[in-house]
Copies of this chain bind each other. A is one copy, B any other.
Amino acid sequence: MTFFSKRDLYFQLFENHQIVELTQFVYFKDHNKETFEFVLDAAEKISTNHLYPLLIEMDRNEPQLINGKIKVHIGMKDIIRRFGEDGWINATFSYEEGGQQLPNVVHQAAGFIFQAANYSASVFPFLTTGAANLIRNFGSRELIERFTPNMYSGKWQGTMALTEPDAGSSLSDLSTTAFPTDNQGIYKIKGQKIYISCGDHDACENIIHLMLARIEGAPLGTKGISLFVVPQKRVPSCKDNDVLTQGIYHKMGYKGAPIAHLMMGTNDSCEGYLVGEPNKGLTYMFQMMNEARVGVGMNACAIGTAAYYASLAYAKERPQGRKLTDKDPSMPQVPIIEHADVKRMLLFQKSVTEGALSLLLYCSKLSDLIHVKNQQEKEDLSLLLDLLTPIAKTYPSEMGCLSTSAAVQVLGGAGYTTDFPVEQYYREARIHPIHEGTTGIHGMDLLGRKVLIKEGKALKLLLGEINKTLEEAYSIPSLLEKGKQLGFYLSVVQKTFGLLIKKSSTNTEAYLADATLFLEIMGIIVISWQWLKQGIVAKKALDENKDPRGFYMGKIMCLRYFFEYELVKVDGLSKRLNSDDQVTIEMKKEWF
Asked if A93 is an interface residue, CB under 8 A from chain B, the answer is no
B interface footprint on A306-341 (CB within 8 Å = 1, 0 otherwise) = 000000100010011111110001100101011111
A569 & B568 in contact (Cβ 8 Å cutoff):
no
CB-contact partner of A569 in B220, B325, B330, B569, under 8 A: B569
For residue A107, which residues in chain B have a CB less than 8 angstroms away from its CB? none
The CA of A469 and the CA of B589, in the complex, are separated in Å by 29
For residue A576, which residues in chain B have a CB less than 8 angstroms away from its CB? 564-565, 568
Q: Would B416 and A346 count as touching, CB distance under 8 A?
A: no
Residues on the B chain within 8 Å of A23, using CB: none
Assess whether A583 is interfacial by the CB under 8 Å rule. yes
Please choose the segment from A177-185, A423-431, A527-535 that sits at the chain B interface, where 4 or more of its residues have CB less than 8 A away: A423-431
CB within 8 Å of B: which A281-304 residues: none
A170 adjacent to B564 (CB under 8 Å)? no
B350 & A412 in contact (Cβ 8 Å cutoff) = no
Residues of chain B lying within 8 A (CB to CB) of residue A415: 434
Q: Which of B319, B344, B444, B514 contacts A584 (CB 8 A)?
A: B344
Assess whether A53 is interfacial by the CB under 8 Å rule. Answer: no
- A416–B438 CB distance below 8 A: no
Contact mask for chain A residues 157-199; partner B; CB cutoff 8 A; 1 contact, 0 none: 0000001001011101100000000000000000000110000
Do B591 and A316 touch across chains, with their CB atoms under 8 A apart?
no
A458 at the interface (CB under 8 A from B): no
Say whether A321 contacts B251, CB under 8 Å. Answer: no
Q: Once bound together, how far apart are the Cα atoms of A405 and B320, in whole Å?
A: 30
Say yes or no: A408-B430 contact (C-beta < 8 A), given A168-B320, A340-B512: yes
Contacts of A516 in B (CB 8 A): 341, 344
A571-589 contact mask (Cβ, 8 Å, vs B): 1 or 0: 1110110010101111111
The reply to whether A509 and B325 contact each other, CB–CB distance below 8 Å, is yes
Interface presence of A590 (CB below 8 A): yes
Interface: A75 (CB within 8 A): no
Contacting residue for A583 out of B335, B413, B561, B569, CB 8 A: B561
Give the residues in chain B near A568, CB-CB below 8 Å: 571-573, 575-576
Bound: A394/B561 CA distance, A: 23
Q: How far is the CB of A543 from chain B (nearest CB, A)?
A: 17
Q: Which of A499-555 contact B (CB under 8 A)?
A: 508-509, 512-516, 550-551, 553-554
The answer to whether A405 touches B430, judged by C-beta atoms less than 8 angstroms apart, is yes
Contact present for A584 and B341 (CB under 8 Å): yes
Say which residue of B252, B444, B588 sits within 8 Å of A553 (CB atoms). Answer: B588
Chain B residues with Cβ under 8 A from A252's Cβ? 416-418, 423, 426-427
How many whole Å from A563's CB to the nearest CB in chain B?
8
List of B residues within 8 angstroms of A329 by Cβ: 172-173, 220-222
- A553 contacts across to B, CB distance below 8 A: 588, 591
Report yes or no: A169 in contact with B412, Cβ–Cβ below 8 A.
yes
Q: For the complex, is A435 an interface residue (Cβ under 8 Å from B)?
A: yes
**Residues of B contacting A554 in the complex (Cβ-Cβ under 8 angstroms):** 587, 591-592
Produce 1/0 per residue, A209-239, CB < 8 A to B. 0000000000011100000000000000000
**In the complex the two chains form, is B571's CB within 8 Å of A583's CB?**
no
Are B338 and A589 within 8 A (Cβ)? yes
Contact between B417 and A347, CB atoms less than 8 A apart: no
Name the residue on B nearest A589 (C-beta): B337
**A78 → chain B closest CB, angstroms:** 28
A570 proximal to B (CB < 8 A): yes
A-B residue pairs in contact (CB < 8 Å), sample of 17: A168-B412, A169-B321, A169-B412, A170-B321, A173-B329, A194-B413, A220-B330, A250-B418, A324-B509, A338-B589, A339-B440, A341-B440, A409-B434, A409-B440, A550-B588, A550-B590, A557-B583
Other contacts beyond A324-B512, A325-B509: 12, CB < 8 A: A166-B319, A170-B322, A252-B426, A312-B592, A316-B589, A343-B584, A347-B583, A408-B434, A557-B587, A564-B581, A569-B569, A569-B572
